[in-house]
Amino acid sequence: MKFRFITFWLLFAMVSLNSCKQKEKTSDMNILYIHHSTGGVIWQGERPSIITRAARKISTGLADALGGKARLPLLFDRFNKENNRNYTIKEMAFPKAAPYGWHNYPYDYYDIWVKHAGNEPYMEEPTLEMLTKQYQVISFKHCYPVSNIQPDKDSADINSDYKSIPNYKLQYLALRDKLHEFPDTKFILWTGAAQVKSAISEDEALRASEFFTWVKDEWDQPGDNIHIWDLYSLETEGGLYFKEEYATSSNDSHPNTEFALKAVQLIFNRIVDVIENDGTRTNLTGEKL
């Protein structure tokens, strides 16, 4: 009996020690993936069914139950198992369709996160003060109408939702200053989604290219807590328009499954690299260096 007792405690001690060692290796990280429709296709790794899209508006769990777990969280599950990590990624539609409205353009991030910053939600949408208490990494993006950039007006107005390069720049500069207030949080901003040629004018597409180039070359600052994932370059491959072979159709600027499978792996690469290496081992599109 005494021998069994000693054996039990030796086994218990070995298990406990091993558990402690595993805990020492484990890195906890809560990641928030903010999106609407284009981001939802990439999150899923395919063009989701109508049923899955409807279910996701109710809850991620329901969508997973009906259509299977999305590709991006599956990639993190595999990475965690292979590398003894505990990275958790969650998606959020931001802003919601009501009461704020289905708008996630530069003005809207400025409006919610800068103009109405604080510890209380604005029109039921969480502020950065709220989100950064829960998440250490926040990835966010715009829907493809962000590229419908209009001609300049006589003067820029940071408080205007008019889509122009000067307005966008003011809103982005204010947003950058705000993100810098949370140095312990890593932010990953996607360059704006492009559109297929039939859905946008050449002038709008040229302005979009100019703005997203400015974001990468001038707005983004080395060594800070903001990182870029260059969706725009992946979609256009150096052109002005979303390549039709990557789109749902010649008239629909949502990604198809082929593009989504490629993009989900690249955004996964980028997120992990930002967490573990401050983004130094991938390029802006998420290709490993």
What integer pLDDT is reported at residue 250 of this predicted model? 96
> What is the C-alpha to C-alpha distance for residues 206 and 239, in angstroms, rounded to an integer?
10
What integer pLDDT is reported at residue 28 of this predicted model? 82
What integer pLDDT is reported at residue 37 of this predicted model? 87
Closest CA to 139 of 275, 282, 3, 283: 275
Q: Which domains does the chain have, with CATH numbers?
A: 28-277 (3.40.50.1110)
What integer pLDDT is reported at residue 74 of this predicted model? 97
The mean pLDDT values, 10 residues at a time, for the chain of 289 residues are: 44 43 56 94 80 59 68 97 97 96 97 98 98 98 97 97 98 98 98 98 98 98 98 98 97 96 98 98 98
Q: Number of C-alpha atoms within 13 angstroms, CB side, residue 254?
A: 18
Query: What b/e string do you get for 174-197 counting C-beta neighbours within 10 Å, with b at 16 or more?
Result: bbbebbeebeebbbbbbbbbbbbb
Closest CA to 32 of 136, 176, 184: 136
Q: Tokens 């979303």, residue?
A: 242
What integer pLDDT is reported at residue 146 of this predicted model? 98
